[in-house]
Amino acid sequence: TAMPAWGVVSKIEPSHFAGGTAYVAVDAHLMDSREPFIFKTTDYGATWKRVNGDLPTAHPLSYVKAVAENPNKQGQLFAGTGHGFFYSNDDGAHWTEISAGLPRAPVSWVVVQKQFHDVVVSTYGRGIYVLDDITPLEQATPQTTDAATHLFSPRPAFRWTQRGRAYVDFSLKSAPRGAVALQILDADGKVVRDLKPTARAGLNRVAWDLRYDPPRLIAMRTTPAENPHIWEEPRFRGKDTRPVTHWGLEPAQVGPIVVPGKYTVKLTVDGQSAAQPIEILRDPRVATSVADLDLSVKLQLRLRDDISAAADMVNAIEVMRKQLEDVTKAYREDRTREALLKQVADMDRKLLDVETKILEPAQMTSDDKYFQQAYRVYMNLIWLNGEVGPGAGDVLGGADFPPTDTSVNVMETIEKDLNAAKADYKNLMDRDVPAFNRSIGGAITPLTGGR
């Protein structure tokens, strides 16, 4: 079909692969022609052929506003029409609509970003939209579509400490029978991140935030003396645990961001594994050497493991103290249990004594208005982790810089307190808890702390 008379050439797209080749989008709806028109020339415009293939023609807004060629894959085209957005893998012979997250609106312009493999579209009245990382569309073949499982090769990702991420895409011919495992491994094969994505038949995408696994955190279970009605508050009603107070710092919700370098993505579905390399690139705005960034990550990993160790001790103590609290509530009015209740109270004091060497009592209230005590081990670790790592609320963070001598010295001081608490905890679990369990003679369930 020839170009319609008085059709508006709404976009000219020179090919990225061949001289003399270009695509044009023609909009003739002002002449009452609603057909989609896309033309291609391979001889500098001497001749043209129509390449809109099976683009929809029945819709009153079927006319084409924009066309773009993918600079990373020859023959892959994108088209914006008066009612949607489409792509073709065979130079316009066949088209597929892309609608996820994109409202029904005229697509007025399309740009394919070469380095990041992103597609950016503008719309009339509905803003600008970005289709992040189209590498799965670029790598897709009939073989990948027919495969039971296919892990696509991820694009490189920049190490941006704020909202940096890498996309991992995989396709499944059918829904998995069990859990899907997705691991990020370093150059030595050690697990950096253990992701457990949900998956379904078709194309699946997982966003990795470029971070190691996060630390384990404290979950309070007992009732603070300052607020005996805390579990009746709407924020904790119906819950078994509650967070500690962080006083504007926020908990350590993420692990350290990785050092630039080469990593491996490993996907396991129904016992079958596949792997692909992924590269994390330096942030070009950051002048810090990779060696110094590595020093920072090593310190952050120490902090992460120390936070987890402190949290594990407190959580085990909280499990035991909650058990004792429940016993006290159950037998409070029973005079025949006075001796048992005294043993319970004595044991609770021993547990609390070790717990408060790790965590100041004011933190146990889950309420900022009780902020009145100096930090102890756990909160000092949270604060220092925020300083040298990802930030923590009011603390900006320093993951793009080497650790200072002061940070290292403070870390060593905190670890001395942590090691002292570990020794007290070991004595508690090896001596005091077994002695208590023997003394009660089966009157209540023995304390284990979750061991």
Domain total in the chain: 2
Statement: residue 370 has pLDDT above 90: no
Question: Is position 228 within any domain?
Answer: no
Assess contact for 382 and 307: CB atoms under 8 A.
Answer: yes
- The domain in which residue 123 lies consists of 8-132
What is the rounded average pLDDT of the residues 88-114? 93
The pLDDT value recorded for residue 371 is: 74
Measured between alpha carbons, how far is residue 315 from residues 254, 333, 417, 425 in Å? Answer: 19, 29, 18, 12
Q: Each residue of 327-354: pLDDT tens digit?
A: 999 998 888 889 999 999 999 999 999 9
Other CB atoms within 10 Å distance of the CB of residue 161: 17
Q: Which of 87, 112, 132 is the last residue of a domain?
A: 132
Assess contact for 186 and 301: CB atoms under 8 A.
Answer: no
Q: Which of 132, 165, 194 is the last residue of a domain?
A: 132
The pLDDT value recorded for residue 242 is: 96
Question: Is position 140 within any domain?
Answer: no
Give the distance between the most distant pair of CA atoms in the chain.
Answer: 105
What is the rounded average pLDDT of the residues 410-417? 98
Q: Each residue of 159-208: pLDDT tens digit?
A: 999 889 999 999 999 999 999 999 999 999 999 999 999 999 999 999 99
Residue with the larger pLDDT of the pair 100 and 261: 261
Statement: residue 1 has pLDDT above 80: no
Q: What residues pair up with 178 in beta bridges, in sequence order?
A: none
Smallest Cα–Cα separation from 186: which of 253, 254, 259?
259
Question: Is position 192 within any domain?
Answer: no
Question: Is position 246 within any domain?
Answer: no
Other CB atoms within 10 Å distance of the CB of residue 265: 25
What is the rounded average pLDDT of the residues 301-316? 97
Statement: residue 252 has pLDDT above 90: no
Assess contact for 149 and 272: CB atoms under 8 A.
Answer: yes
- Per-chain mean pLDDT for the chain: 94
Question: Is position 175 within any domain?
Answer: no
The pLDDT value recorded for residue 80 is: 96
Question: Is position 100 within any domain?
Answer: yes
Question: What is the model's pTM?
Answer: 0.86
Q: What is the CATH number of the domain that holds 89?
A: 2.130.10.10
Statement: residue 63 has pLDDT above 70: yes
The pLDDT value recorded for residue 451 is: 67
Question: Is position 109 within any domain?
Answer: yes
Question: Is position 207 within any domain?
Answer: no
Q: Which of 132, 147, 174 is the last residue of a domain?
A: 132
